[in-house]
Structure formats: C-alpha cells, structure tokens
Structure 1
C-alpha cells in the first residue's frame, strides 16, 4: 500500500509547486471611472496620459517607480545597472511569461525598442527614444542598452515607455494588437466596448502574483467623460475609484461616510500652445507674447479650479530628473495694456480670427477655462470661440494643424503630465520639431535640448536645460497656466493611494 501511495503523493506535491497561484487568491471586482480610455492598447504608438495609466495593466516595463516617491525599482528586470554613460545592463527575471505562456527574454526587449523606433511603426514616441542606438542581446535573459549619447534620464524613460511586447506580435495585424495586448502584465484584457468600458481579469501566471496576492480579480474601467457624472456614479456606488473630481464636488464626497477623497499636487501642467510651422499670425513672436499677457492665469485658478492648482511659470514639474528651475518665477504676467501694445507692434492692432480648441472633460474644468480664454483674448482683438472636443477628435484636430492640413491660425489649451520625470518627454514632446505634441519647429531650440540631454555633468546639465527653458519663455512658445492637484475619490471598501505622477497601479489596490 505504501508503494502505491508514493506516486500520487509525489504528483500532488509537484502540482502544488508548479501550478499557478489560485485565482481565488484575488479578491472581487473593482470599477474605476476615468475621463477617457486609451486610443489604443498598443503602447508603442501613442503618447497620451490615459494610455500610460492603463498600458501597465497588461504590459510590464523593465523597471517601475515607487508610488509617491518616484524611486526606481526592479520590475520585469530583476536587476538593472549602469555600465558607463552610454551602456545600461538589464537582467530579466526568469519566471516572467507573456500572456500566451511564452517566456520573456532579452530578444523581446530588443524587439520592443526596435519596434518603437522603426519608421514603419509610425510611433509618436520616436523623439523620446532619440538617445538610443541599439539593444544588444548578451544572453537569453540579459539585454544591454547602447546609447548614441549620454542620457542621465534614460531609466526614467524606460520606466514609463519601455513596455515589453511579445515578439510574436510582428506577425499580427496592427489593428489586432491595438485591441489584444501582447504583454506579460498583471491583467489580461477580456472585453472592450469602445467609449464605454474595458474589462480586465487578473493574470494567474503573472510573476508578481506572490507579491500582490490580494489584488482585484476583475478590473472594470468605465469611460465617463464628465466630472459630474463620474462623481454621481461614485456616490451611487456604481464605481469604486474616480479621478479628476472637480473642486465643487469635494464637500459632497467628503460628507459620505462610505467614501474618502484626497487631493495631492500633480505633475500635470495646463498650458496653451500656438501653431506656427505653417505661418500666420502666431508665427510672429510678438503676437504670442501678446496672447501670453492677455490670459489671466490666476483668474482661471480661482474661478474654475477652486484653488486646487498652483500658479505655474515653466513647463517642467519639480519631479523631473533635471531641468526644473527655481530661477524661473514669472512668465508674461497678466497685463492687458502691454498685450494690446504688442499686437499693435506686430501689425495686428485690429486683431484676427483664430481656431481655439481644447479637450472635453479630460482635465478639470478644461471646457470652462478654455471658454474664459476666449473672452480674454477677445479684448486684444483675437476672435477665437472655444471648441471643446472629445479626445480622439482633439488628437485628429491637433494632428491636422501639425501637418498643415488645417492652415488657419490655431492655438489650444491642454495638459501635459510627464509622469516619468524624463525631461526630454516634456521638452522634446511638446516643443521639438518632431515632438508628438509640438505645434512648431525651432531648430535653435532643438539644438539646445539635444545638448542638454547629452551633457553628463549634473550641474552643467541643469544649466543647459535652464537655457532651453529660458529660450522657450523669451520666444513665448507656450503659455504655462497652472499645475493642477490630482483629486481622487474612492469607496472605503478598497485600499487605494493616489500618486502625484498619474501612475495607476491596480495590483496595489486591496479589496477589504
């Protein structure tokens, strides 16, 4: 009898060792309401903040950041090290698998970065990866990143944008990848009703399951555009977590004993930009300076943000690895008389018509703030009714102006977060000649940024980045208006901590 018991017992032990974590370890369903949804679940194509919040649900990055403090930590790479100023070594964990069971290897790391910079991909991330030369596969689980020039912030970039994709995706149709993530992340996308909701299920084969055994079993992302509707859903118990709560609703949420709300300073800067590449009034620096002086940022902060925002005078937040400057304490303060004088000097004393557009419900009071800007610039002769647009249409309109398909004078009001803290994402992303969100091309500016990024000495690099920011201010490339506070509400049945960098890590949510 004992001999017959040995085999079943050994088999049972083997199954216990090699079986994936039981799905029952994951707890319940958590519903999250955001102002939007990703344009695509292909993390290598777009540059947009809802995507950077959601892509890590299905894709792992090589490294991650600690919530609230931003310290980098091992993730898909169990070890990362700087070999020299132009080489970084990543040692992958051997227990990581893609959602089809394929092991994650150094070849996948190489494939992913190669895919981003491949012109055929048409990725908006290319300017961010400008420093990267190539990825060397040292062995199955070791990848070495080679840079063209030194880049002190490259790890910050990979923490936010270095999503590792299954190389099998090269044989897939791009449209299929956009809806069917090919990652190794903690969740698997099971359902997507465009414009309404996305349903994710916990990946039982995820390498991090032992670290986060109490994460939600099911995640539902609901796209609820208006802040009012999101708050109503939270109050009604229809959703568990809501971001972007408008200030006027905070007292009502606080009064509910089942809910809690928190407001923390965020990385997101709200600003205006001007399309100049194809000529027109905004190609004249004095016109841009005039509009800068005509917009009363403090009025917007007090009237529409209820004080849940900070006055802001630059385009880098304090958490970037280099470049934020305490020396920049003003940026064309509100001065209507000076604005009118500049319009006269520019030859536009009688004003002109322009297209002004913004997002709808994506950022706190975006529509209302934009409409107030319409009234402000009207006082200096700029006739520009505000056109609020849902984000997909906003992106299309922005691109049409970038590419010269729309040639009328155009400017916009939007937000930019840069949760990675990678300075290049901001300075190249919304101002370089090929930036994903850049409305202009100034080669002198690009040269300043390129030099700053390649500067190895920390103090010298800070000085070079400051020069680039001063150039932006002198040439009025944008109008920084506010740095907002992230206001998040949640049901007390879930344990959740908001983060200043707009990261949203559902694996850190615990259902009570």
Structure 2
C-alpha cells in the first residue's frame, strides 16, 4: 500500500460537480479522461480515446478504446461520453465545470466507440480542458442521489474508492477492469490518502514511515528530509501562480484603481518569495504560464515594489490615512498561504491599511471567498488566491480568476469578459497572442490583481517509492512502484 499525505480531503468524489485543485487530482485516480498531457514531450496523448481527427475548425472525431470498461465491468461507450457532458450542463447539478466548456455545442454519437465533438466556434484551449476536467462517469449514476455519488466512485479509472472517513482517510483499491492494467502491472494495489492539515505533522509522518509521499514541502523542512537516509526531496518547476485578488464588485476602497495600484506597489513579492517561501518561487508577471496555448510573454512586466509611489497613490485616491481591511486566506492548503497574508498585512501598514488576517481551513475559505464575491464581508477584502492552469487554457484563466461569473473571481469587468472570449475564439495564433497581450494590458491598467510569483513544486518521498513527480499538480499514482 502507498499512503499519501495531503493538507485536506477533496470536497467531493463527484467528478463533474465542482472545480477544485485537489479534487481533479484524486478524481483522476477513479475516473478517466479522453486524453492526457505528456509534460516531458509537451503533447496530448491518447487515454480513453485512442485517436482523434480534426474535421474542421469546430469539430473533432474521436475513437474510444474498445477495451475500456467502468469499474462494474460495463463498457465505456460514446453514449457515456455524451451522458457526462449532459450531466455537466444539467441545471440540477449546478456544475461549476460548465465554465470550462462555454464553447461546447453538442456530441454526435456515431456508434458505441466513435463520436463527433461539435463546438460553437474555434477553441484552442479545448484539449487542455479535456486533459483534466472532462472525467467520464458511468451512466448508471443517473438517478442516484447526489450525496451518494459524492461519496462513491462510478468511473473507469485505475482505482475504486473503497472507504472514506472524512478528515481521516480515503482508501482506493485497484480497478480490475481498468484498460491500463497490463501497461502498469506494478502499480500499487491499494492507495490511501490521509488529510493532515499541519505541515509539521505531515513531515514527521513521512520520516516515521506512516506516509510514503507528500506534496508541498515547506522550505524549512527540506534539509531534514534530505539528511534522513530513508527520505528524499524532489523539487520541480511548478505552474501554480500565487496572486492577490481585490474584492471590488460591490464598491469600497478596492473599487478604486489607484488604491489597487498602491497595494501592488506596497507589496514586495521578491522579499516574500525569498523569506516566507524559502526561495522556492520564481518572479512572475502574468497569470498565463509558458505552456498556455497563447498569451504568455516573459517580456511583459507587472508592478514592482515602490513604497513612495504607493503612499502617493493612496493620497491621490483620498485615503492618506488608509482604512481597515481583511485578508482572506486558506490555512495550510498551500505552502506559505497564511504566512504570506501576515507578511502582506505588515507591508500594507506602511501605507495606512490596517489589515486583519483571517485564515481558514479549505471549506471555510471557500465560503469566505463566496462572501467576498457577494459583498458580505464587513470590511474591504483582499483575497489570497492561486491559479494552476495545468490544462494550459488561456481563455479559462480569465474566466476563473477575473470574470463576472468566475468560480474564484471577486471582480467584474464585462467589457474585458468580452475581450477574453473574442481572443479565445481566434483561430490565427499571432492574432490571438496579440489579443491576449492586449487583455493583459487592460488587466494591468486596472491593477486587477497583485501577482506575487510562480511556485516550485516540492515533494517528499520515502526512498522505497519509485516515482517521478511532475510539476502539473497531478499525482499519477498508477505510475508509482513500491519497492519495499
């Protein structure tokens, strides 16, 4: 058995209902997608779909593996693919994943193993989203109570959820019907996930052998794990970008772009990266990363650190003495999340902003973000956020982080929503790049976020575990081999 330590549980095991960073990791253990992404080769590879063909700018034909089965032994068919998308768009489910498929039109089933995917228009980010967010569910889940679906698995992936004591342990057993069993014959037959909120406790459990693998090792623990003869640390380039979002939909000081600019100038991201994050960060200036299908340009720069300019802007905005505010952050979900809030609070005091840090466990943090979206916070809110975008979907970055309907957005600029959708629908790569750079310029003009840095992924492993962690935030447990 391989035991993995993480800061929290996934919110649900329903793979179509919501958007969650840990969720898509764990859902991928029990549910399969049509395609996967090979990070080393930087290309889309077959998974449930053994091949595909582009029929035109808005249509793709897929051929499914004929040996793919769900965990109950029934075949994975094109009808199941259609059922999954119908389910995502079912009003009763209220799926947050609908936002990932705004250009979707229909699925045309040709036979059990072939179908045509139709789009409303061109969408260069489609396959990126298919890598992670389109997890095929057994049509037998239709009519099953939502609560039951959230606590069980109805997939055809490498594992089946056998037990789940929330806040304590999840246990997965190998799926005997998985099409990839012969391809991964040495994979663990049992995988356990233990949610352990405190980073110190996770590290101790790895050192004692209670855990075999942990994701997200704080810099302060790396020397200890490297020194121990039974453990090792792997650090790889990451793709998660840390930023701060201004809750501005409902007015208040953060609705003023001069205040937002002042906050940008007042925060020394490089210092936080070197101290709080232990140097495990890289300076970054946009929410698009190098493997986004478009938009990334390392030559573009966000706001730097300039305390004098920050103070002048606060005065121009009519807040020479500052104001009270709240910093909303998770506590222990990501490396340095709460501590970053404390550092930001200290920095903003220098421009008169008295900011209280409120750090929550992940479910309560999600609720606090919802309150900020709805204008229910008592004081102006600055929200700690991060965006992974492991799918490389440039259009989805704006939708998720900044749009009027974004799942994590606390801002609203309808004219920029329109620019994003127009850019995403462009078929010409050069025109599309220029359009996304224009949108980035508008984001900076509005000082919409404070972009902090890009994080390096850190992992702790027992030396008995043979596994190469990746920087795309997935944990491909079927690739693990336990050698003890």
TM-score, normalized by the shorter chain, greater than 0.5: yes
Structure 2 residue aligned with 1:500: 471
Tell me if the contact between 1:68 and 1:499 (Cα under 8 Å) persists in the aligned partners: no
Structure 1 residue aligned with 2:9: 37
**Displacement after TM superposition at 1:70 (Å):** 3.7
Structure 2 residue aligned with 1:11: none
**Displacement after TM superposition at 1:407 (Å):** 5.6
**TM-score (norm. length: structure 1):** 0.92
Q: Is it true that 1:125 corresponds to 2:97 in the alignment?
A: yes
Shift of the 445–407 alpha-carbon distance from structure 1 to 2, 3 Å rule, reads: farther
Could you tell me which of 429, 437, 446 is aligned with 2:417?
446
Structure 2 residue aligned with 1:16: none
Structure 2 residue aligned with 1:6: none
Tell me if the contact between 1:92 and 1:141 (Cα under 8 Å) persists in the aligned partners: yes
Tell me if the contact between 2:70 and 2:138 (Cα under 8 Å) persists in the aligned partners: yes
Q: Deviations over 1:6-50 (max 9, x none)?
A: xxxxxxxxxxxxxxxxxxxxxxx0001112221111121221211
The farther-off stretch of 428-437 and 117-126 is: 117-126
Structure 2 residue aligned with 1:458: 429
**Displacement after TM superposition at 1:54 (Å):** 0.8
**Which structure has the bigger radius of gyration?**
1
- The residue matched to 1:61 in structure 2 has which SS? coil
**Cα distance in 2 for residues equivalent to 1:149 and 1:220:** 42
**Displacement after TM superposition at 1:424 (Å):** 2.2
**Displacement after TM superposition at 1:95 (Å):** 1.3
**Displacement after TM superposition at 1:489 (Å):** 1.3
**Displacement after TM superposition at 1:179 (Å):** 0.7
Q: Is it true that 1:283 corresponds to 2:255 in the alignment?
A: yes
Q: Deviations over 1:61-91 (max 9, x none)?
A: 0001124444211101111221111001111
Structure 1 residue aligned with 2:242: 270
- The residue matched to 1:385 in structure 2 has which SS? strand
Structure 2 residue aligned with 1:334: 305
Unaligned runs of 5+ in 2: none
**Cα distance in 1 for residues equivalent to 2:100 and 2:234:** 32
**Cα distance in 2 for residues equivalent to 1:119 and 1:434:** 16
Unaligned runs of 5+ in 1: 1-28
Residues 389-404 of structure 1 aligned to structure 2 (within 5 Å): 389-404=360-375
- The residue matched to 1:414 in structure 2 has which SS? strand
- The residue matched to 2:371 in structure 1 has which SS? helix
**Cα distance in 1 for residues equivalent to 2:6 and 2:293:** 28
**Displacement after TM superposition at 1:283 (Å):** 0.9
Structure 2 residue aligned with 1:3: none
Tell me if the contact between 1:32 and 1:241 (Cα under 8 Å) persists in the aligned partners: yes
**Displacement after TM superposition at 1:463 (Å):** 1.1
**Cα distance in 1 for residues equivalent to 2:261 and 2:17:** 34
Could you tell me which of 483, 488, 491 is aligned with 2:454?
483
**TM-score (norm. length: structure 2):** 0.98
Tell me if the contact between 1:247 and 1:306 (Cα under 8 Å) persists in the aligned partners: yes
Tell me if the contact between 2:288 and 2:394 (Cα under 8 Å) persists in the aligned partners: yes
**Displacement after TM superposition at 1:444 (Å):** 1.2
Structure 2 residue aligned with 1:408: 379
Tell me if the contact between 1:125 and 1:436 (Cα under 8 Å) persists in the aligned partners: no
Tell me if the contact between 1:124 and 1:435 (Cα under 8 Å) persists in the aligned partners: no
**Cα distance in 2 for residues equivalent to 1:38 and 1:81:** 34
Tell me if the contact between 1:134 and 1:147 (Cα under 8 Å) persists in the aligned partners: yes
Q: Is it true that 1:378 corresponds to 2:357 in the alignment?
A: no
**Cα distance in 1 for residues equivalent to 2:465 and 2:152:** 28
Q: Is it true that 1:178 corresponds to 2:146 in the alignment?
A: no
**Displacement after TM superposition at 1:406 (Å):** 3.3
- The residue matched to 1:31 in structure 2 has which SS? strand
**Cα distance in 1 for residues equivalent to 2:42 and 2:141:** 31
Structure 1 residue aligned with 2:65: 93
- The residue matched to 2:240 in structure 1 has which SS? strand
**Cα distance in 2 for residues equivalent to 1:67 and 1:226:** 30
- The residue matched to 2:234 in structure 1 has which SS? strand
Structure 1 residue aligned with 2:36: 64
**Cα distance in 2 for residues equivalent to 1:257 and 1:475:** 51
**Cα distance in 2 for residues equivalent to 1:456 and 1:414:** 31
**Cα distance in 1 for residues equivalent to 2:401 and 2:421:** 14
Tell me if the contact between 1:363 and 1:415 (Cα under 8 Å) persists in the aligned partners: no
- The residue matched to 1:379 in structure 2 has which SS? helix
Q: Deviations over 1:86-118 (max 9, x none)?
A: 001111111111122221111111111122123
Could you tell me which of 206, 211, 214 is aligned with 1:234?
206
Tell me if the contact between 2:71 and 2:176 (Cα under 8 Å) persists in the aligned partners: no
Tell me if the contact between 2:220 and 2:278 (Cα under 8 Å) persists in the aligned partners: yes
Tell me if the contact between 2:64 and 2:114 (Cα under 8 Å) persists in the aligned partners: yes
**Cα distance in 1 for residues equivalent to 2:272 and 2:463:** 32
**Cα distance in 2 for residues equivalent to 1:169 and 1:277:** 38
**Cα distance in 2 for residues equivalent to 1:200 and 1:476:** 45
**Cα distance in 1 for residues equivalent to 2:457 and 2:206:** 16
- The residue matched to 1:312 in structure 2 has which SS? coil
Structure 2 residue aligned with 1:12: none
**Displacement after TM superposition at 1:414 (Å):** 2.4
- The residue matched to 1:270 in structure 2 has which SS? strand
Aligned residue-pair number:
483
Structure 1 residue aligned with 2:331: 360
- The residue matched to 1:53 in structure 2 has which SS? helix
Tell me if the contact between 1:108 and 1:167 (Cα under 8 Å) persists in the aligned partners: yes
